[in-house]
Chain A
Amino acid sequence: VSWKIPDDVVSTVVEGGAVLLNLTSKRYFSLNETGCMIWEGVRDGLSREGIVAALVERHEVSPETCRIAVDRLLSDLASRQLLGHAS
């Protein structure tokens, strides 16, 4: 599964995290530093495995554990209409 950021979602990154804003629902969300790395990975077009590899490189975490966390966040973001499936 690959993901894309919908046109009605804007974001900005600051030290320690990011804020995502859904312009349709008018709701905003914040991500911590790790969540922000995953978000930036999607924004930069990385695959799920690319995001996992980047996280494993920076954090002491196994690929398996990291993969579960990445999938959980991506699903969470999708359920809030902050991510969509790439066609």
Chain B
Amino acid sequence: VIAPPPAGRWVWGRVSAEARDESTRLVHLCSGVELYVRGGRLRPGTGYAAAAGAERRELARAGAIVRLRRHGKYLVHASGVVDSRRRAWLLTGDSGAGKSTLAFSLARAGWGVLGDDGVVLEPSAGGILVHAWRAPLMVSRALRPQFPELGEEHVHDREDPRERVAVTSVTRASRALLSGVLLVHRRPADASPVPIPALTRARPLEALSALVRQSPWVSLDDAHASAHLLALGRAAALPAWHLHNEPARLADLDALLQAVAP
């Protein structure tokens, strides 16, 4: 009756969190530098003042996520895109599944981009609002054959094995009501030659499990955990599909999604 829990990461990037009464302690996993969220404000902890700028930024970003959570807004590890009818879609899946590539492909077809590596969900009376999470859209430079313009962009991090470039030529969106959820799966290299449909309907429980898996902060043991999980449940109750990602289908993605949109 119980499905085995898929392996999940319960940290955001290189930062872990622990709830303590009314405060949250954030720790950078590389250095042990601390930052606290207390009384709705960020408070420096051990080593913070002397920490490197990158570590402080990562901690501050995590702190922002915790503060949003206290206001009923929940970050989920997903790309968010907005179609021509102002409907938001989530592309969620494990790292490397192809979320960013799909988001970029849709952006080239005129869709707006809410976020690449994360977006913020806010339950409201009218539905689930998806807010932008400002971070550059990062796409692998290896996709130049499909997207020639990537050759003009600079590699963001020289140590990034995926050689991703920060794409600047996309239209950013600020927020939109959530319309559907796409669970992105990379087609394995040794997959059967028999083609599988690009989109197959996902059950709400599958969508919910996927959203929980991509929401490390839902497990923070504080007074907001239940509302956070409930919000993911509302998102999962919307139409959802498995999207089997294949480079050959990128060009058709816009039409595919428009065809199934509720």
Contacts and interface: CB of A to CB of B under 8 A. Distances in A.
User: In the complex, which range does the number of interface residues on chain B fall in?
Assistant: 20 to 34
A79 to B, nearest CB: 10
A14 B218 contact: no
Given A19-B212, A23-B220, A28-B8, A13 B2 contact: no
B2 A31 contact: yes
A28 B2 CA distance: 10
Contact of B203 (A16, A19, A23, A28): A16
Q: Is the interface of B mostly helix, strand, loop or mixed?
A: helix
A83 B219 CA distance: 17
Contacts of A73: 1-2
Interface in A25-79: 26-32, 34-35, 73, 76-77
A48 B207 CA distance: 30
Contact of A12 (B219, B221, B229): B229
**10 tightest A-B contacts by CB?**
A12-B233, A23-B221, A14-B204, A17-B205, A35-B1, A10-B226, A26-B10, A26-B219, A30-B3, A15-B204
Given A12-B232, A31-B1, 11 more contacts: A11-B229, A13-B233, A17-B204, A19-B212, A21-B229, A23-B221, A23-B225, A28-B209, A29-B2, A30-B209, A80-B2
Interface of B: 1-3, 5, 8, 10, 203-205, 207-209, 212-213, 218-221, 225-226, 229-230, 232-233, 236-237
